[in-house]
Copies of this chain bind each other. A is one copy, B any other.
Amino acid sequence: VQRLGAYRRVLLRLPSEGRRNLFSHEIAALAGVSASQVRRDLMMIGYEGSPNRGYDAAGLLRSLGEFLDDDDGQKVALAGVGNLGRAVLDYFIGRRPKLVLSAAFDSDPNRVDRVIHGCRCYSVAVMDRVIRDEGITVGIITVPREAAQEIADRMVTAGVHGILNFAPRSLRVPGGVFVEDMDLTTSLEMVAFYARAHGEEREKSGGDADE
């Protein structure tokens, strides 16, 4: 499901090489997945290749777009314009044409009414109205842990169906609302843990311990 995005990114970088057709194993190698998986995924979205020419790059790209994107685009709101919030805002601006960052929210009066990275920052007091009026359906939460649940609740009641959550806590949301957690601390912890495990394995087997 999220691999489809990876396939598209692979295809988007391709025209420089002038390829018209691609085989499943080529896409697989570039996207870092297995060829079976590529064939299965593309079958699922209903795009057909031909046995000895593979997949048509242009057509596949169009097909992926039709599947992944909303025709009219979707509006996104971000709540919490701290360090992380600003970085995320900057990161997303203009990156996917069909996803428009339409509004940012913060409780700090110093940040309200300013335009940050090309995106107007409103007070959280008017969040409900702005989300409703603009028809925003996607939310990004970069507020502190304590405020996250309340912000999520308000986003959902105002019409948001999907949330990208950077706050280190699990959000309770009604059924039918999708939440993706991006917990930086948990991820770094995991990396550190496996780094340690692998490091120890290496010390046992190999001789060149790095100490």
Contacts and interface: CB of A to CB of B under 8 A. Distances in A.
Given A9-B168, A176-B202, A161 B195 contact: yes
A167 to B, nearest CB: 11
A194 B182 contact: no
Nearest to A161: B195
A70 B197 CA distance: 10
Contacts of A84: 87-88, 90-91
Contacts of A189: 2, 5, 68, 96, 99
Count copies of this chain in the complex: 2
A159 interface: yes
Contact of A87 (B86, B161, B202): B86
Interface residues of A, number: 61
B2 A190 contact: yes
A86 B6 CA distance: 26
A138 B198 contact: no
Contact of A170 (B31, B88, B137, B177): B31
A147 to B, nearest CB: 15
Contact of A178 (B91, B95, B176, B194): B194
A6 to B, nearest CB: 7
Interface in A52-89: 68, 70, 74, 76, 83-84, 86-88
26 contacts: A2-B190, A70-B196, A76-B192, A86-B87, A87-B88, A88-B184, A95-B185, A96-B188, A132-B210, A137-B195, A138-B192, A140-B188, A159-B210, A160-B195, A161-B196, A161-B199, A162-B192, A162-B193, A162-B194, A176-B201, A177-B198, A178-B191, A178-B194, A178-B198, A182-B182, A182-B187
Interface of A: 1-2, 5-6, 9, 31-32, 68, 70, 74, 76, 83-84, 86-88, 90-92, 95-96, 98-99, 132, 135, 137-138, 140, 159-164, 168, 170, 176-180, 182, 184-196, 198-199, 201-202, 210-211
